[in-house]
Amino acid sequence: MITPFDENYELDEEGLRENIRSQIEGGIDRIVPVGTTGECATLSHEEHKRVVEIAIDTAGGEVPVIAGTGSNSTREALRLTRHAAEAGADAAMLVTPYYNKPTQRGLYEHYKKIAQEVDIPQIIYNVPSRTGRNIDPETLVSLSEFENIVGVKEAIGDLQQIMYLVENTGEDFNVLSGDDHLTLPMLSLGAVGVISVASNIVPGEISKLVHSYLEGDTKTAMEQHYEFLPLFRSLFLETNPGPVKAAMGILDRPAGKPRLPLVEVTEETKNQLREVLSNLAITPE
């Protein structure tokens, strides 16, 4: 989920509720607030917690809520994960600690500490392009032995790593795509879903792609993949979530501009987004 802001860059609470209701009506399986796309890095802790609370309240048990609770500080990640659990989130997603570049042993101890301290199911989020650190597959396999570490959102783009994880973890450990354009290839290797940026725009279509594949209809899944591949690409013309917020603005959905240091996308990018949306017949509701 994006985090919508008003014209003063403050949290648009009613806009967030509207987007969540739209996602649920669109057929998604779960809500994921305050991840990368939700601009967690520029939210205050109070705002972060408020977004999680709004998501839980608005979802109302219709779909599970997976709250982003990661940090480069283990103590901070613990506080956010405890809050998510106490607020009623169904699971937490924790990005790899960024900037301070922990060793693999440090990464293991970080996730071990949180898993032991908070009972809520936890998904590791591996995105080396943003954090500066890959969680080695061997480290992930070791972490999968904790009962409440239930999966990984992989945004590494290395299919060898995906195959290693699927091959060396049990059925209770879920490998999820973190890149819309790699969802279909990853499903073919044993992944079971995607935590998607594009679902902010087309929740039903992303759900259809994944469910079609998992139900054995690979033809429909492939058709969905190639039909929406131009959208997947266009949402990364500039740094996420700039393009997805711009696309939602074009569609008259609550979004606003990203907070500094991120900036609104260029007019050239907006024009490309308009063209892609038009070609896919995605119009304001």
Active site residue 208: no
Query: What's the predicted TM-score (pTM) here?
Result: 0.96
Q: Which of 108, 111, 153, 213 is catalytic?
A: 153
- pLDDT value of residue 134: 96
> Is 263 inside a domain boundary?
no
Asked if residue 285 has pLDDT above 90, the reply is no
Instruction: Report the CATH number that the domain containing residue 184 is assigned in CATH.
Output: 3.20.20.70
167 pLDDT tier (thresholds 50, 70, 90) = very high
Q: What are the pLDDT digits (tens) for 27-56?
A: 999 999 999 999 999 999 999 999 999 999
Point out the catalytic residue in the list 108, 111, 125, 213. 125
Residues 10 and 257 sit within 8 Å (Cβ to Cβ): no
**Owner of token pair 């408020």:** 50
Asked whether residue 24 is marked as a ligand-binding residue, the answer is no
Q: What angle, rounded to 10 degrees, do the helices at 267-279 and 218-234 form?
A: 160
* Cα distance between residue 43 and residue 11, in whole Å: 9
Structural domain count of the chain: 1
Q: Residue 178: inside a domain, yes or no? A: yes
User: Dihedrals φ, ψ of 189, to 5°?
Assistant: -100, 0
* pLDDT at position 239: 97
Q: Is 199 part of any domain? A: yes
Where in the sequence is the domain holding 26, given as residue range(s)?
13-215
283 labelled binding-site residue? no
Catalytic site residue 153? yes
> Where are any strands of DSSP class E within 85-181?
91-95, 122-126, 149-154, 174-177
